[in-house]
Amino acid sequence: MGSMDADDSSTPSAVRRSAVPTIMDVAERAGVSAMTVSRVLNGGKNVRPAKIERVMEAVAELGYRRNENARSIRPGQRVGLIGVIITNVLNPYYAEVQFGVEEAVSGSGARLLVGNSGEDARRERALVDDFIGRHVDGLVVVPSGSATAGLHKAAAAGIPLVLASRRLDGLQVDTVLIDDVAGAYEGTRELLAEGHTRIGYIGATFGLFTGSRRFEGFRRAHDEEDVSLDPALIRSTPSDPEAARRGTLGLLRLDEPPTAIFSANNRSTVGVLRALMEAGVPPEGMRLVAFDDFELSNMVPYPLSVVDHDARELGRTAGRMLMDRLSGGAEDAHGPARLVELPTRLISV
């Protein structure tokens, strides 16, 4: 516990070597007041050029850096921190989102505080709480599951909040989505147009926001073509490769297996492909449509169409919406919630 360094206890501000330099150290070295140093650091307005020079020298010599934390406790000051809560950075989709947010906000010097919720509402809440405690300027969240108390509190606390990829009922905040419904609809329609009537579905069908939306597009396309959905072909699986793999194997074991499979997300697609390889399904034996593009998708030995979209742009948009709230005056900051839906693009075989 008491592992204090060898340090004199009450030295006002006389000589403190090993510690990080403060604004006072710079002031003393430059022969000015702390206030003048502060002014220089904030643009040097109304400071004599000669003193600016002296201050800058002292800053360089001491390697002084403003203490952002001390700075942020003053009223009206921003921390320059954006909290980003994604479900799992190991999923390339969310890595793209994180990167996009950083692209959007780093221009104004803001940094990212990142946390993975792992689809766990409890962990998400802990992260939100923690981020609020660090007084982040704003939050970009891919909400896990349904509306959490944590997010409500954040919104109530007046912290600008942008939801990415998923919307939450009962939480009126800026939201950026992929147009899941239209994307799934188009992909499914292509299969139907080719004459497929028994199309397997692998992925979430409810619960998960994007899953239910994508299933909705899948269903709508069937409805429109008057093709009935065979429940045996719908494998409602969690978004992980293993579940998708098992679901796909189940489909292949059916008396009347599907002639095509719609995979609802990039995790499912990995599982679908593993199952097909494992079962030795020949290239002409299965037609595929996958939501979410992935590297090497053109290496897949089956005829594959991809519902592509720009996850990075999703993150960028979320970041921009946040910066809008922050830069705008107090009026803008409390404007009505906006909803942006980014388009998908069908990349056919």
Q: Where do contacts with DNA occur on this chain (CB under 7 A)? A: 10, 12-13, 19-20, 22-24, 32-36, 38-39, 41-42, 46-48, 50-51, 65-67, 70-71, 73-77
DSSP per-residue codes, 276-289: HHHTT--GGG-EEE
Which CB atom, from 75 or from 231, has the smaller least distance to DNA?
A: 75
Residue 131, helix vs strand vs coil: helix
Whole-number minimum distance, CB 152 to a copy of itself, in Å?
A: 6
Which CB atom, from 71 or from 167, has the smaller least distance to DNA?
A: 71
Whole-number minimum distance, CB 206 to a copy of itself, in Å?
A: 15
- Please choose which of a copy of itself, DNA, none residue 13 contacts, taking the beta carbon within 5 to 8 angstroms, the exact cut-off set by kind: DNA
Distance, in Å, from the CA atom of 87 to the CA atom of 106, rounded to the nearest integer, reads: 22
Q: Is 337 left (phi over 0), alpha (psi -120 to 50) or beta?
A: beta
Whole-number minimum distance, CB 8 to DNA, in Å?
A: 11
Which CB atom, from 48 or from 345, has the smaller least distance to DNA?
A: 48
- Please choose which of a copy of itself, DNA, none residue 92 contacts, taking the beta carbon within 5 to 8 angstroms, the exact cut-off set by kind: a copy of itself
Which CB atom, from 24 or from 192, has the smaller least distance to DNA?
A: 24
Paired tokens of 118: 């792992």
- Please choose which of a copy of itself, DNA, none residue 35 contacts, taking the beta carbon within 5 to 8 angstroms, the exact cut-off set by kind: DNA
Whole-number minimum distance, CB 24 to a copy of itself, in Å?
A: 14
CA nearest to 76, candidates 261, 301, 342, 326:
326
- Please choose which of a copy of itself, DNA, none residue 158 contacts, taking the beta carbon within 5 to 8 angstroms, the exact cut-off set by kind: a copy of itself
Residue 347, helix vs strand vs coil: strand
Residue 319, helix vs strand vs coil: helix
Contact predicate 306/347, CB 8 Å: yes
- Please choose which of DNA, a copy of itself, none residue 244 contacts, taking the beta carbon within 5 to 8 angstroms, the exact cut-off set by kind: none
Which regions of 197-338 does DSSP assign to beta strands (E)? 199-203, 234-236, 260-263, 287-291, 304-308
- Please choose which of DNA, a copy of itself, none residue 295 contacts, taking the beta carbon within 5 to 8 angstroms, the exact cut-off set by kind: a copy of itself
Which CB atom, from 93 or from 185, has the smaller least distance to a copy of itself?
A: 93
Distance, in Å, from the CA atom of 170 to the CA atom of 187, rounded to the nearest integer, reads: 31
Whole-number minimum distance, CB 13 to DNA, in Å?
A: 6
CA nearest to 258, candidates 196, 348, 305:
196
Whole-number minimum distance, CB 348 to a copy of itself, in Å?
A: 18
Whole-number minimum distance, CB 110 to DNA, in Å?
A: 15
Residue 289 burial (10 A CB sphere; 0-12, 13-18, 19+): buried
Whole-number minimum distance, CB 51 to DNA, in Å?
A: 4
Task: Walk across the sheet containing 199-203 and list its strands.
Answer: 234-236, 199-203, 260-263, 287-291, 304-308, 345-347
Beta strands 199-203 and 174-178, pairing class: unpaired
Which CB atom, from 74 or from 253, has the smaller least distance to DNA?
A: 74
- Please choose which of a copy of itself, DNA, none residue 39 contacts, taking the beta carbon within 5 to 8 angstroms, the exact cut-off set by kind: DNA
Which CB atom, from 71 or from 246, has the smaller least distance to DNA?
A: 71
- Please choose which of DNA, a copy of itself, none residue 41 contacts, taking the beta carbon within 5 to 8 angstroms, the exact cut-off set by kind: DNA
Which regions of 232-286 does DSSP assign to beta strands (E)? 234-236, 260-263
